[in-house]
């Protein structure tokens, strides 16, 4: 699970959405942020990461990956350059331009070591710094 988190960061930061999608189970779900509509299934997840994992958006891990049972969690900062309306893959009302977003991600794994749920915790008003 810790290795999967490493691979997730590597794939995201090299704009490799297929590599990320391969980490997920077939019927996995993504919710970003928690409370937003759920993206369900590999195709929806692939589409989501095609939009999210682009040149100009980098994830920087800010805490060790903690593990409990079949779950992992970690703190990170999303460093975004030149956000525009097309780039915003979330349902949140993000500012345009450069920003840093503080996020805690939680992944839940199945018995095959694949991610079955990804939930991102952050708030568009409280956890964003314009840079």
CB of 18 to its own copies, least distance (A): 28
Q: Which stretch binds its own copies (CB under 8 A): 3-11, 37-45, 48-56, 73-81?
A: 73-81
Q: Is residue 3 a contact residue for its own copies (CB under 8 A)?
A: no
Query: Rounded CA gap, 23 and 20, in Å?
Result: 5
- Please, which of residues 90-129 interact with its own copies by CB under 8 A? 102-104, 106, 120-123, 126-127
> Which one of 26, 37, 69, 112 is in contact with its own copies (CB under 8 A)?
69
Helices (DSSP H) in the chain: which residue ranges? 2-13, 17-21, 42-52
Query: Rounded CA gap, 56 and 83, in Å?
Result: 9
Q: Which stretch binds its own copies (CB under 8 A): 19-27, 42-50, 63-71, 83-91?
A: 63-71
Query: Rounded CA gap, 12 and 114, in Å?
Result: 17
The residues pairing with 130 across neighbouring beta strands, listed in sequence order, are: 99
14: left (phi over 0), alpha (psi -120 to 50) or beta: alpha
Q: Which residues bind its own copies (CB under 8 A)?
A: 2, 33-35, 62-64, 66-69, 71-75, 102-104, 106, 120-123, 126-127
């Amino acid at each position: 699970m810790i290795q999967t988190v490493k691979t997730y960061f590597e794939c995201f930061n090299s704009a490799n959405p297929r590599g990320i999608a391969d980490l997920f189970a077939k019927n996995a779900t993504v919710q970003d942020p928690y409370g937003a509509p759920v993206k369900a299934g590999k195709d929806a997840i692939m589409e989501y990461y095609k939009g999210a994992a682009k040149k100009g958006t980098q994830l920087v891990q800010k805490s060790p990956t903690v593990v409990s049972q079949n779950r992992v969690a970690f703190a990170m900062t999303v460093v975004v350059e030149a956000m525009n309306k097309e780039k915003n893959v979330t349902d949140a009302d993000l500012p345009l331009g450069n920003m840093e977003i503080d996020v805690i991600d939680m992944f839940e794994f199945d018995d095959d070591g694949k991610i079955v749920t990804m939930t991102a915790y952050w708030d568009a008003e409280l956890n964003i710094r314009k840079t």
